Amino acid sequence: MPKYIGLTGYMGSGKGEVAKLLQKRGYKYISLSDMVREEATKRGLPHTRENLQNVGNDLREKGGAGVLGAKVCALVGQEPESSWVIDGIRNPGEAEELKKLPDLQVVGVSASPEILVQRVLERNRGGTVLKREAILERLEREKGIGEPPKGQQVKKCLENVDYFILNEGTLEELGRKFEHFLRLGTGEDRPTFDEIFMEIAYTWAKRATCLRRKVGAVIAKDKQQLTAGYNGAPRGVPHCAELGGCLREKLGIPSGQRHEICRGTHAEQNAITQAAKFGISIEGSTLYCNTFPCVICTKMILNAGIDTVVYDSDYDDPLSKEILAQQNVLVLRRYEGRKIRV
């Protein structure tokens, strides 16, 4: 098993339960949040979540994004014979600093906003009764919305973990999912088919010529790969790097908007058109992609007869999410399992 396991996730995600599972296995516990609480105490501040978030931001602003991670490295380094679970990673800089520890694996735990809100409402930590609106505001801040780069950036942390768990069931289910992570590391478990096909999608993403985001996609059926694709310029057309840069960047177009102003074909589109080119039926198949589909890809996926989309990282395209919420022919699943970085 890994000597060091880091945990990141939103409030109510259940990462604390994962930490308990590791402590039962003999791991020592340390939390970046506890360091923030100690600093808040020194400053005479009550330990409200808002105060703790502000103190954490201040520490990172003055000491660098990885300052809390560096403190943890120094502390656990005093007991090199021990295994540690490191909780409370909230900024990518902290994760990068912690990566200096040998064999560190970062696990992300999350759930839908509705489930997160309900859990926070039920646990009533510290006797403070929060309303739904207040919880949603705090979750937005944890995600990084309105936060400085050195502030709370849990969404970015979750997109760069080594293993991701969607905790929307029972504690027993959470335990089984985490056990699979541990058994993968020891070789006792084989990868799931989701993990196999997503790894292939990430491998295809290495061929991407897009300067903004490298995306790969795989279409599979009956546990067999049918086609694959990556994002880049159409056949015979020079890509952006050959033409002096990204047109969307030059025009200041935000991610998730004005997809027609782009030289590239998306990975999902390429996987679908490859099926058409070679006469491969993808009716009832599953599409794996390391990014949530945009609105153009969504419409193609729906009309191609694909049954399921398994996606990894999020993509901010409101119209795509609106259309997917209105349809009832396609199953959309967030990927769980071992993640591969491009």
pLDDT of 193-228, one tens digit each? Answer: 999 999 999 999 999 998 888 999 999 999 999 999
pLDDT of residue 211: 84
Please identify every residue annotated as catalytic.
268
CB within 8 Å of 184: residues ≥ 6 apart: 191, 338
Give me the chain's average pLDDT, please.
Answer: 92
Number of residues in the chain: 342
Q: List pLDDT tens digits, range 128-137.
A: 567 888 899 9
Q: Phi/psi of residue 106, each to 5°?
A: -100, 125
* Other Cβ atoms within 10 Å of 252 Cβ, number: 6
The pTM assigned to this predicted structure is 0.89
Say how many CA atoms lie within 13 Å of 334 toward its Cβ: 16
Above pLDDT 70, what percent of the chain? 98
pLDDT over threshold 70, residue 127: no
Task: Map tokens 């999410």 to a residue.
Answer: 321
Q: List pLDDT tens digits, range 35-59.
A: 999 999 999 999 887 888 889 999 9
CB within 8 Å of 144: residues ≥ 6 apart: 151, 152, 153, 154, 155, 156
Nearest by Cα to 111 from 2, 218, 18: 18
pLDDT band at 186 (very low <50, low <70, confident <90, very high): very high
Distance CA 144, CA 60 (A): 14
For 299, counting Cβ atoms within 10 Å of its Cβ (0-12 exposed, 13-18 middle, 19+ buried), the class is middle
Q: List pLDDT tens digits, range 272-326.
A: 999 999 999 999 999 999 999 999 999 999 999 999 999 998 888 899 999 999 9
| Residues 302/326, Cβ–Cβ less than 8 Å | no
Element (H, E) at 32: helix 32-42
Distance CA 198, CA 339 (A): 8
